[in-house]
Amino acid sequence: MDDLLGDFVAETRETLEALGGEIVAWEAAPDDRSRLDAIFRFVHTVKGSCG
């Protein structure tokens, strides 16, 4: 079980770091719909990993 938790934490940390980059890029170009779509995909991935 600890292995699963460790994997979850590692994967989620990577996803959240990538999400942070997308948010910064989206702030610079708020009309960029592809950035917003990527943000939603990252959040969906984290949500799915929690299940």
Cα→Cα distances 22→9, 37, 41, 43, 46, Å: 20, 10, 11, 11, 15
Q: Which residue has the tokens 């989206």?
A: 26
Q: What is the pLDDT along the chain (51 residues), one digit of tens a residue?
A: 789 999 999 999 999 999 999 999 999 999 999 999 999 999 999 999 998
| Per-residue pLDDT, 29 | 97
Q: Contact, 40 vs 50, CB < 8 A?
A: no
Q: Contact, 16 vs 46, CB < 8 A?
A: yes
